[in-house]
Copies of this chain bind each other. A is one copy, B any other.
Amino acid sequence: MSKISIIGTGNMARTIGARAMAGGNTVEIMGRDQSKAAGLAKALGDGATTGEWGTTPAGDLVIVALLYNGVVPAVAHYGDALAGKVIVDISNPFNSTFDGLAHGEETSIAQEVAKVAPAGARVVKAFNTVFRHVLEKGRPDVFIAGDDAEAKASVEAFIESLGLRPLDVGGLKMAHWLEGAGVVTVGLANHGVGNVDFALSITELPV
């Protein structure tokens, strides 16, 4: 069981929050709009709480469920309130044509988050290759990247509590390529697969 705080009140916050509750974790919702946060916490049911935007989250894992361009500003705004926390970046910084990233090579939203995160905070990239409705209905593999082994272990334990398989791809630098894997996933939806009812995964031999 993990103590989770989710920064954000949108669809991905609701989906992760619901799965987190179902997995026996405690969930706190933090939104700029306190009434939206309260509404989502109520929808998630008994035990879900709300916290005030910008204050120290109750959770050990802080999942930032905002549009990609809001993630770094939010972490910077929280500042020292995130000291010692594991910050989970789930964002997909797609370019306008969905065939590349909104930022250049050699970085990722997760790496930019690490630059503004307070001392003692550890950043893990996760969930970005999973379409929201697949996370709602399915059992997708969840790829993760990060530099801190303890932080990754805590995220892996959370992912396993959701009945999902965490798959570590390496250090935080790999977040760039996980964001690229998000681009590949959208490319598959728009071309070879033709729908979004799938998840990027691994198949083990014998296949």
Residues of A within 8 A of B (CB): 99-100, 104-106, 134, 137-141, 143-145, 166-171, 173-174, 176-178, 180-181, 183-184, 187-188, 190-193, 197-207
| Cβ A207 vs Cβ B202 within 8 A | no
- In the bound complex, CA of A173 to CA of B180 (Å): 12
Q: How many Å from the CB of A131 to the closest CB on chain B?
A: 9
Q: Are A166 and B192 in contact (CB under 8 A)?
A: yes
| CB of A7, distance to nearest CB on chain B (Å) | 26
Pick the contact of A200: B144, B178, B200 (CB < 8 A): B200
A143 to B198, CA, bound (A): 15
Is the Cβ of B199 less than 8 Å from the Cβ of A170? no
Determine the distance from Cα of A184 to Cα of B143 in the docked complex, in whole angstroms: 9
State whether B207 touches A199 (Cβ < 8 A). Answer: yes
Task: Give 28 A-B contacts (CB < 8 Å), ordered by A residue.
Answer: A99-B171, A99-B173, A100-B177, A105-B106, A137-B205, A138-B205, A140-B203, A140-B207, A143-B192, A145-B187, A168-B191, A169-B184, A169-B188, A169-B191, A170-B187, A170-B190, A174-B183, A177-B184, A178-B184, A180-B181, A181-B181, A197-B204, A197-B205, A198-B202, A199-B202, A201-B201, A201-B207, A203-B203
